[in-house]
Amino acid sequence: MNLPVRLLLIAILMTPPVGIQQASAQPDHAHLDSLAADAYTQVVQWRRHFHQYPELSNREFETAATVAEALRDMGLEVTTGIAHTGVVALLKGGKPGPLVALRADMDALPVTEQVELPFASNVTTEYQGKQVGVMHACGHDTHMAMLLGAARVLTAVRDELPGSVLFIFQPAEEGAPLGEEGGAELMLKEGLFERYRPQAVFGMHIGLNMPGGQLAVRPGPAMAAVDYLQINVAGRQTHGARPWGGIDPIVVGSQIVMGLQTIASRQLNLTKVPYIITIGKFDAGVRNNIIPDMAEMHGTIRSFDAAMQDDMHARIRSTAEHIAASAGASAEVNIIKQYPATVNDPALTAQMLPSLQRVSGEQPVVTPDLVTGAEDFAFFAREVPGVFVYLGAAAPGEQASELPSNHSPLFAVHEPNMALGVRAYVHLAVDYLAQH
């Protein structure tokens, strides 16, 4: 064997495989964890500030200003005013590569806080014509703080990143006020993913009655689609002592409520995924001895499969209209699609599961049950492959299933769990960039 050939073989043998080259190009995981630990005190401060000064959907003006200031202080390229109050920041890595997005939500709920904390919310505001308390009862204060912490860590290693990271702080996840647009859908409508087109998007939610400090992710459908349902029943008014003189929309409406329950329990294939139809509001009449001419019902529909969702809508209309017609009344059914189902891309979920397990350590990352709550992260995940991760909020030793759930005035978060959330955001972003 001549010398040039021998040297070529030696060079080939000494060249690490592609996967090892990619792994060595990314920041060291231990170093990332050390930076996350250094950021924890600031993460807690951010969280407590957001918690003490919450704002409702599409009204997150001071929240957005605080987020934008923190991101600018990190030297990031910041854009504000997307979908009213949304904030995005772009971190350009030092090496060429893809763009990955990390998302947190910003809005609070019209809930009066009952948790005794030195930084408890005392904020009140007007909501649908009423004075209400305002509280981060869904954990969005922690989501923002954790994502800001991740931005701080990733900014510290920006020169080593083989790609870029888009930080999305989204308003109105809980739903825009009546008559307004908002949330992820409006951010996309205003061109967010046209200006910045990520190859993947990751989100996180704390709480959901999971054990403290546990990570969970479910491939495929994970959270339900949600639709708003309104049914107006028109009868004919009469004296309560002479019901035969009119058509009672209260009785007809009651029959419709019961009939709707047979759609999920008797007409749909429950071996696939669950479906829920709930009537939460029933309004009719003004006096005890007058049968009114109208009854109005409001409800929510939850589903996980798009084809079955459309089938449910058709069956709801048919059930309500035919029950009403059988009594000589009429029913007008209005269904508004609000959020689609949150679907975790199966391939991306499998790809990133080792990253989550590394962050979780000895505690296994679990596959949770389907969640019948909804998330408008779903709009982002419909545009590009997405993964939505759950993080337990409970303190060590607490029974998560017995604790107040998200949206309760007693909902509380064990703050040290946020350290795990920061690391999860960071490792997902870094590992995705390195693998692509």
Give residues with Cβ within 8 angstroms of 435, minimum separation 6. 22, 351
> Nearest-CA neighbor of 91 among 196, 189, 200?
196
β-partners of residue 302 are: 226, 276
Q: Which amino acid is at 267?
A: Q
Active site residue 53: no
Query: Whole-angstrom Cα distance, residue 23 to residue 27?
Result: 9
Query: Torsion angle, CA of 45/46/47/50, rounded to 10 degrees?
Result: 120
Query: Whole-angstrom Cα distance, residue 11 to residue 290?
Result: 94
Query: Whole-angstrom Cα distance, residue 359 to residue 381?
Result: 23
Active site residue 339: yes
CB 367 within 8 A of CB 350: no
β-partners of residue 334 are: 230
> Nearest-CA neighbor of 336 among 306, 315, 313, 304?
313
Write the CA distances from 397 to 137, 357, 394, 401, 416, integer angstroms.
Answer: 22, 22, 8, 12, 14
Q: What's the token pair of residue 312? A: 């449910």
Considering 53, 339, 390, 432, which one is annotated as catalytic? 339
Residue 9: what are its φ and ψ, rounded to 5°?
-65, -40
Q: Mind telling me the catalytic residues?
A: 339, 415
